[in-house]
Amino acid sequence: SKVTEGQQVVVKWRGKPLFVRYRTAKEIADAKDVDVKTLRDPQTDAERVKPGKEQYLILVGVCTHLGCVPNFGTGDYGGWFCPCHGSAYDTSGRIRQGPAPENMAIPEYEFVSDKSLRIG
């Protein structure tokens, strides 16, 4: 319940940062508008969110290259950017450029109410 539209909270989970982002309509549209065939690690946006809760994106906030913590809003694709080695992720946490081999991980999670979720 702490996160509002266009914001992200970071919590620690299993010793790693976990990004909980409440995406804007534009972020969702941008994520859906990607041709999945062009992606290094092809996944649709729908595969990365829960049905009916597509505004919430839950990610393990670790770059899949060497484990750095990417920053939101500084890359070329509207999502996260790892300044250490240049990996850029889109608004669905999918790798778009740089050395990272995979999309940012999506942990197991479920919504237990409209205002809370359970990770793991």
Catalytic residues: 85
CA angle 83, 28, 47 (to 5 degrees): 90
- Which 8-state DSSP code applies to residue 2? -
Rounded Cα–Cα distance for residues 47 and 8 (Å) = 20
Closest CA to 94 of 29, 36, 16, 13: 36
Let me know how long the chain is. 120
Classify burial at 8, counting beta carbons within 10 Å of its beta carbon; exposed 0-12, middle 13-18, buried 19 or more: middle
Separation between Cα atoms, residue 27 and residue 90, nearest integer Å? 9
